């Protein structure tokens, strides 16, 4: 999203990543559930909130390569390839003993070591795990008609089917499906799978050609009970995991890092306080819990056959489609947490100016 791009630009990484990225100028939500109560097609346009694009889509490989190169060229970063054998956390420091026998000590440690985080375990921080009766098929494909930088999300009875533009006439796809159906489709020839994808998208991008490397992932979620404690903080999937819905995962992790820079890097030469982890936890809790809950609620609403839930989902999208100021508020909140509400006074002042004129 826009906030994430600004952060990457601050790190002088965006200019290197930009050639591999495609802008998302519009996001279109289409009800493909075939249920009695269907929501209207709703389109969110970046221009409505004064942006050229909501964000950019780029391959994980491109980001990883750029981060690897930036890390290798940074003199203040020392990389250790040995695995962490043991971790001790005290009120004064964090000590990590590597498999090769070397011990590293620091005032503060950041757990960016994934879902099975050793640092989280050493800190005694528990987690809540949950799963969904779904699998996500992830792939890239070429198409004969231009995507016009529009992302289309079809809401189906098994979950979202989300196309996101890539540079040129290519797109990425996250197709959430019934696990048995997904496993069967994974075995299909690429040409046959391409025909299914084209049909699911109502041929809006013409002929579809699936690229090699189709992947299938069971959907599940995880959230740590705390995101920081004492002299440690947890970021990324060490802190939170949820389905690939709504393009929130990477953006949420980048906001973790932004919060860390505010807490740690703006202190000049001052020592890291013993409660920096608690400060980080307070800073991130609302954002992480809100995003996790919203993604979970959207996903479960698609799976539910309970009529009142279907009514609420359809009504919600209808209201967003029919009321531009509310749609504007939701878009701003999606771009940057708190931004929509902060912008309300400015919007009211602008409206009063127009009335006076």
Q: What is the pLDDT of residue 66?
A: 96
Q: Average pLDDT, stretch 17-23?
A: 95
What's the chain's average pLDDT?
A: 85
Of 45-49, 74-78, 247-251, 265-269, least confident by mean pLDDT is 265-269
The pTM score is 0.83
Instruction: Copy the structure tokens of residue 22.
Output: 């495609």
Higher pLDDT, 319 or 291: 291
**pLDDT band per the 50, 70, 90 thresholds, residue 37:** low
**pLDDT band per the 50, 70, 90 thresholds, residue 198:** very high
What is the DSSP pairing of strand 150-156 with strand 26-31?
parallel
**pLDDT band per the 50, 70, 90 thresholds, residue 249:** confident
Asked if residues 276 and 293 have their Cβ atoms less than 8 Å apart, the reply is no
> Which architecture does CATH list for 22-57+129-219?
2-Layer Sandwich (3.30)
Of 43-52, 131-140, 269-278, 342-351, least confident by mean pLDDT is 342-351
Beta bridge pairs of residue 152: 28, 163
pLDDT at 313 over 60: no
The most confident of the ranges 18-32, 50-64, 203-217 is 203-217
pLDDT in tens, 42-71: 888 888 888 888 889 998 899 999 999 999
**How far is 104 from 40, CA to CA, in rounded Å?**
57
**How far is 46 from 268, CA to CA, in rounded Å?**
37
Q: Average pLDDT, stretch 199-224?
A: 94
- CA 43 from chain center: how many Å? 20
Q: Average pLDDT, stretch 323-332?
A: 61
Could you state, in order of their start, the residue ranges of all structural domains in the chain? 22-57+129-219, 80-126+225-303, 307-356
pLDDT at 268 over 80: no
Q: What is the pLDDT of residue 100?
A: 94
Instruction: Copy the structure tokens of residue 178.
Output: 């019934």
Of 186-190, 289-293, 340-344, least confident by mean pLDDT is 340-344
Instruction: Copy the structure tokens of residue 351.
Output: 């409206």
Query: Phi and psi (nearest 5°) for 160?
Result: -70, 145
Q: What is the pLDDT of residue 307?
A: 45
**pLDDT band per the 50, 70, 90 thresholds, residue 87:** very high
Of 73-77, 138-142, 288-292, 323-327, least confident by mean pLDDT is 323-327
pLDDT at 236 over 80: yes
Q: Average pLDDT, stretch 263-279?
A: 83
> Pick from 345, 278, 268, 296: which is nearest to 132 by CA?
296
Q: Average pLDDT, stretch 76-99?
A: 95
pLDDT at 346 over 60: no
Q: Average pLDDT, stretch 89-93?
A: 95
Asked if residues 46 and 52 have their Cβ atoms less than 8 Å apart, the reply is yes
pLDDT at 283 over 80: yes
pLDDT at 79 over 70: yes
Instruction: Say whether 197 sits in a helix, a strand or coil.
Output: helix
Of 30-44, 112-126, 338-352, least confident by mean pLDDT is 338-352
Asked if residues 152 and 173 have their Cβ atoms less than 8 Å apart, the reply is no
CATH superfamily label, 80-126+225-303:
FAD/NAD(P)-binding domain (3.50.50.60)
Q: What is the pLDDT of residue 111?
A: 97
The most confident of the ranges 127-131, 158-162, 303-307 is 127-131
Instruction: Say whether 128 sits in a helix, a strand or coil.
Output: strand
**pLDDT band per the 50, 70, 90 thresholds, residue 354:** low
> Pick from 158, 113, 149, 159: which is nearest to 295 by CA?
159
Q: What is the pLDDT of residue 344?
A: 46
Q: What is the pLDDT of residue 340?
A: 46
Neighbour-count burial of 226, counting CB atoms closer than 10 A to its CB (0-12 exposed, 13-18 middle, 19+ buried):
buried
Q: Average pLDDT, stretch 350-355?
A: 51
- Cα–Cα distances in angstroms (integers) from residue 137 to residues 128, 147, 148, 152, 228, in the given order: 25, 20, 23, 16, 33
Q: Which ranges of the chain does DSSP label H, i.e. alpha helix?
A: 2-10, 14-17, 60-72, 118-122, 179-186, 190-200, 249-264, 276-303, 307-322, 324-335, 339-342, 344-356
Beta bridge pairs of residue 177: 135
């Amino acid at each position: 999203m826009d906030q994430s791009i600004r952060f990457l630009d601050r790190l002088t990484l965006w200019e290197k990543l930009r050639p591999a990225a495609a802008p998302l100028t519009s996001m279109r939500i289409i009800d493909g559930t075939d249920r009695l109560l269907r929501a209207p097609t709703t389109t969110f346009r970046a221009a409505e909130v004064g942006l050229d694009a909501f964000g950019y889509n780029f391959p994980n490989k491109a980001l990883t390569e750029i981060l690897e190169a930036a890390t290798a060229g940074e003199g203040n970063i020392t990389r250790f390839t040995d695995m962490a054998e043991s971790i001790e956390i005290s009120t004064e420091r964090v000590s990590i003993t590597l498999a090769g026998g070397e011990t590293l000590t620091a005032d503060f440690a950041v757990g960016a070591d994934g879902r099975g985080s050793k640092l989280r375990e050493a800190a005694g921080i528990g987690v809540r795990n949950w799963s969904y009766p779904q699998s996500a098929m992830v792939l890239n494909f070429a198409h004969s008609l231009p995507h016009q930088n529009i992302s289309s999300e079809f809401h189906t009875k098994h979950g979202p089917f989300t196309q996101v533009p890539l540079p040129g006439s290519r797109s990425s796809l996250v197709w959430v499906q019934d696990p048995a159906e997904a496993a069967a489709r994974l075995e299909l020839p690429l040409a046959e799978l391409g025909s299914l994808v084209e049909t699911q998208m109502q041929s809006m991008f013409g002929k579809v050609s699936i690229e090699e490397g189709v992947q299938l992932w069971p959907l599940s979620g995880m959230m740590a009970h705390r995101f920081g404690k004492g002299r440690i903080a947890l970021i990324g999937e060490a802190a939170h995991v949820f389905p690939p819905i709504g393009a929130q995962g990477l953006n949420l992790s980048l906001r973790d890092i932004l919060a860390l820079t505010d807490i740690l890097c703006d202190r000049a030469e001052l020592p890291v306080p013993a409660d920096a982890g608690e400060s980080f936890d307070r800073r991130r809790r609302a954002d992480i819990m809100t995003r996790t809950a919203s993604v979970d609620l959207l996903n479960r609403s698609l799976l539910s056959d309970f009529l009142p839930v279907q009514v609420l989902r359809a009504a919600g999208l209808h209201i967003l489609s029919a009321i531009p100021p509310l749609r504007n508020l939701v878009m701003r909140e999606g771009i940057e947490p708190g931004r929509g509400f902060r912008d309300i006074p400015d919007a009211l002042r602008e409206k009063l100016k127009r009335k006076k004129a």
